Structure 1
């Protein structure tokens, strides 16, 4: 891989991060983690309180890359076909015509995914895993690039369906925006007087730029020593929690670290890239017994206890 290619992908990523910052004030780390996950072809789960900008973040990503954006509001009566699409009988032609659902977009926002029943959640999660959907026996490929941002409300747990561990595992990273600090909130208020910034946000890259950056990211070198480090971090979580990180989680960490390397104009992964991405990639995959701390503590302990080299 040429250094020029890596530098080009990194410059594209940084330009998009800055552009998203025109809409999302503060939260630079979360924006970086999201773009890094996107470079690694991973999907993102945002868990947060209402009104902190989750939807705006997804829209800003789509706009920045000139991507087609679709939003799905998950509700208890939402059906799988409402996401994937449905065959409709055409009386004139006496044939069935497939009408694609909102999942046929480059950036799909699944809003409050935990409000829909498991079967409907699974329709989106299958699309994330396979990048295709099957309706009435016919399989259709989803567009390239394909990126899902799902949100869940962290406050109102009544009338919700908790995502099982196996489904959480399909999200590369889980992020939280949180409330802005006073200065950032004052800045937000100043920006939204009149027209909201999302309405005037301009693209700074193309979908082709994103696909090229993702291809470059996949080619970033990961040494055997770095792979071994990830394996030992994952092993630590399995030994020190009720449910540790799966092999899928280890792969997600490597892919996020490749994205972090590209963001820093490198075509190889350093242990520091791994350490920067471990928390958002690992934490939501860990379960601890009641009264034994929380998953974040396990991740912190792993980073402290596991040496970079054997």
Structure 2
């Protein structure tokens, strides 16, 4: 069994950077759309933090937008940080720097004011993350920006079928409590209410992408890199059970996401937010 799927003693999902990056192009598009709405930052060179940086492939795009920036990617998955540091850490072509550090978003607070705190498809893994938004806004320089996007697809078939199967009689003893539910993220209106107010402006929106995925069972291949990680981790010590779960889930996904003549359409809703602290 791949080392990346060995059970983690702390009970957290174990990540496989290679699996996650199999759909890197589709996963990076929302980050580009998020950055397109980020205004000019207050200082140069700017100080930037990326919360939940994963393997660092999208963190590196921050240096394209702000070449002189000191950018730090934070994550609590050692396998992701190792990949990010090996491929992206060091001086950037524009005179800035990119580095990666371990941190837990539930408790992380910058030691100095930042120009930009950004997070791409990570906060849905952080219970209570909405309560941290005011702390991160307070940690910005005047004119600084908090920007994030989270999946808003927890009611989609890919998640509903996963939770239903995990809660079935065959699997509930091992899996009933390992998956996230629809309340993993807030509605756009709820994020706007938390971010808007005196001394700051907020822009919140949602987009549903329809990714056209190639290959056999591509939706299963997608979720094996993200949402299915808790199941793969919980069953890592029992390869037979893991394959049995995957067989049931694969059949359900094939019915929910039938392949078309040009690939398999995979609708994916995401929620975006950009909040600016007044100068």
Q: What TM-score does the superposition give when structure 2 sets the normalisation length?
A: 0.27
Q: Which has the higher strand share?
A: 2
Q: Which has the higher helix share?
A: 1
Q: Which has the higher contact order (CA 8 A, sep 6+)?
A: 1
Q: Which has the larger radius of gyration?
A: 1
Q: What TM-score does the superposition give when structure 1 sets the normalisation length?
A: 0.25
